[in-house]
Chain A
Amino acid sequence: MYKILKTRLLKKVMTRSLKPGQTSALESAGLELKKEIRRKFGRSLHIREVDTGSCGACESEIIAANNPIYDIQRFGINFVASPRHADALMVTGPLSKNMEIALKKTYEAMPEPKFVITVGDCALDGGLFKGSYYIDKKINEVVPVVLHIPGCPPSPSTIIQALLDFMKK
């Protein structure tokens, strides 16, 4: 316990100890996002993530957006364990044939109102995997996508910023 307290005190608040310029931009973006989410979805936005064939890098960056440095939760965005709890579905990767049914079912299990976000270049049109015998549909041909966040993979701050720009619309 003593070690934990000591480390906690020495480390201070990690979330703010990014480079000053970057932090303020990220923070103000995040705070605006929080306002938008509050206006549209009551208090918070709950997201369910589904990987339909991703290499894992996009997952890693989405997880990083939840780490103490970016801490997307402080802006009212939570990643949830069940589609039943979700307002939005975040899809990564090209759409492997094997995941088509699972993606549909996950979307159907979500309550209204709901929307779909795709993350990473592969999720737009298959990316590098386009033309494969096992990728024949795009994600937006199976579920309605309203926002795409490009990148290979997009960085955590790109993800936060893109969510903000979208919510402002």
Chain B
Amino acid sequence: MPGAELINIINKKLPDFKVVAVTRPYPDELVIQVKAEDFKKVCLAVHEHLSSSVMSFFAVDDRQQQGKFILYCYFINVPLHQWVAVRLDISPADPYFEAISKDIYSAHLFEREIWEMFGLEPKGNPDLRRLRLHDEVWPVGNYPLRKDFQTVTEGEKKDYKFTRVEGEGIFEVPVGPVHAGIIGPGHFRFSVAGEPIINLEARLGFTHRGVEKLFEGKSLPAGLQLAECISGESAFAHSLAFCQAAEKIAGITVDKKTAYWRSILLEVERMYNHVNDIGGIALDVGFSFPAALAAIIKESILQANEKLTGNRYLKGVNKLGGISLKMDQSRHEELTTSLGRIREDFAVLVNILEESVSFMDRVDGTGTLKKEIAEDLGVLGLAGRASGIPIDLRKIFPGVYQEAGIKIITAQTGDVLARLKVRIEEFAESGRLTAEFLSKISTAETTGSKSGPAVDGALGYSEGWRGPVLYWLKTGTEGLIERCKIVDPSFHNWPGLSYAVLGEIIPDFPLCNKSFDLSYSGSDL
């Protein structure tokens, strides 16, 4: 039986537990199917044993074929380089499941999402307010991700209730959804006692476009195009994760040259975004010269992208099973030289920031997110690594990163400075990796392999610049998409921001916010 070792460990903790089925649909995925009464306990056992937060947790409406809803809760097994999913089948007659979020907080937002989109109630979750379908515009009882949902039927509309902090001298400051900058919409409700923030509730969902429903019924190439428009400045990480899921289903293993190019472009995307955020942090404390320099560096990377791929944001580059890039020697050299120049400029930028005592003083100790809290919330990616959580999919599922010996950059303090430093070092590491991949690419193999197509849903993933981007994809008999579940790292990390600002003053919020730089559209879907 696959995963026997893990089942034994679960059995030691839960002697009465009997597994329904264990499958290994793909080498990197293990699916443990359990009964309703075991679901919570098994999730908890897996969570504790693997020390993994909930990476993805979603429902699939399979009533038409199998007459049931299916829940998948994904964890990551770092030492075995494997995803572990706990699966629960739910009968439409009893549309509920036992909530796990009271014990595993990182499941909290996912449970609310399953409730609002499918009408499957997580029993025991104390907060079932909707995340994306705003109460003011969407009547209750409409569950858009159910397959039989056609159009919205009129019903009761309500007002959203914010968490209230009460007491003498406490007042609320509402900010948004339209903000002062050129940025996405979100509402932030600060409760303030004097100057310090004592509670921040972020109400998001303003850019909800119903994308998961839009994927359904699309062909894979059409789905790929949509995946590039989920989070615009992370287009490549999203298209890569989508392609990986689709390729797993189709049984395609890409050739090494494609793997190199994908890694190069993923790193280039990381570089332009990291330098953008470093500039943003400088701008938010009023240090305009490095901000301008960072904008120049970002622009030169975007122009290099355009020269190389024809698109500044690397859209339209990934294809199923390959990459659409006609690379000749001259462009290859051009990229190498322009990246060299970019790295030189970057060194100057970092030097200016580090030599400014007042700048360093401003970011040091501001917006601290402690490791324990980050772990409980399930904060991942760059923000997680800055709080000492060493999770990076490039290390866990290395592929071509293996030979390049990728270095994981972490910091311990979890403040704005830590997130700044992780960005600076990751930029340098990305520069090194890109140069190394470019030097090897001309001799890389160009033949991939193909095995038979699979029927199961598959998880595709990439470590984007914010963190892990996950696409769970299931196709039907005609190859059309039946379900696509997207998890952008921003969805995990927004709660982290609400904790990082506690005790800070409101004028520091933009600085803290920029140091996370989370996506509204990626989280709102």
Q: Which residues of A line the B interface, CB within 8 A? A: 3-4, 7-8, 11, 14, 49-64, 66-69, 79, 81-83, 93-94, 96-102, 106, 122, 127-129, 131-135, 152-153, 155
Cross-chain contact A128 with B226 (CB below 8 angstroms): yes
Nearest CB on A from B521, distance (A): 5
- Given the interface pairs A68-B292, A131-B214, the reply to whether A56 lies near B312 with Cβ below 8 Å is no
The B161-184 residues at the A interface (CB cut-off 8 A) are: 177-178, 180-184
A-B contact pairs, 23 of them (CB 8 A): A3-B348, A14-B296, A51-B207, A54-B207, A54-B521, A56-B231, A57-B229, A59-B182, A59-B184, A61-B312, A63-B182, A69-B295, A93-B521, A96-B207, A98-B177, A99-B177, A102-B178, A128-B226, A132-B211, A134-B133, A134-B208, A153-B313, A155-B312
Q: Which 6 A-B pairs have the closest CB atoms?
A: A57-B232, A55-B232, A81-B180, A67-B295, A56-B232, A132-B210
Q: List the A side residues contacting B184 at CB < 8 Å.
A: 51, 54, 56, 59
Q: List the A side residues contacting B152 at CB < 8 Å.
A: 133
Nearest CB on B from A83, distance (A): 8
Cross-chain contact B213 with A133 (CB below 8 angstroms): yes
Q: List the B side residues contacting A131 at CB < 8 Å.
A: 214
Q: List the B side residues contacting A69 at CB < 8 Å.
A: 295-296, 299
Cross-chain contact A56 with B293 (CB below 8 angstroms): no
Cross-chain contact A96 with B520 (CB below 8 angstroms): no
Nearest CB on A from B129, distance (A): 14
- Is B302 among interface residues, defined by CB-CB distance under 8 A? yes
Q: How large is the interface on B (under 10, 10 to 19, 20 to 34, 35 or more residues)?
A: 35 or more
Query: Of A3, A53, A133, which contacts B521 at CB under 8 A?
Result: A53
Query: Of B132, B136, B233, which contacts A56 at CB under 8 A?
Result: B233
Cross-chain contact B352 with A133 (CB below 8 angstroms): no
Query: Of A8, A57, A82, A132, which contacts B214 at CB under 8 A?
Result: A132
Cross-chain contact B180 with A100 (CB below 8 angstroms): no
Chain B residue nearest in CB terms to A129: B209
- Given the interface pairs A55-B521, A128-B226, A153-B313, the reply to whether A96 lies near B231 with Cβ below 8 Å is no
Nearest CB on A from B179, distance (A): 9
Max count, chain B CB within 10 A of own CB: residue among A53, A61, A66, A96 = A96
Q: How far apart are the CA atoms of A155 and B235 in the complex, in Å?
A: 16
Nearest CB on B from A118, distance (A): 15
Q: List the A side residues contacting B211 at CB < 8 Å.
A: 129, 132
Q: How far apart are the CA atoms of A69 and B133 in the complex, in Å?
A: 40
Q: How far apart are the CA atoms of A59 and B229 in the complex, in Å?
A: 13
Nearest CB on A from B380, distance (A): 19
Q: List the A side residues contacting B214 at CB < 8 Å.
A: 128-129, 131-132
Chain B residue nearest in CB terms to A50: B178
- Given the interface pairs A4-B352, A50-B178, A99-B207, the reply to whether A67 lies near B296 with Cβ below 8 Å is yes
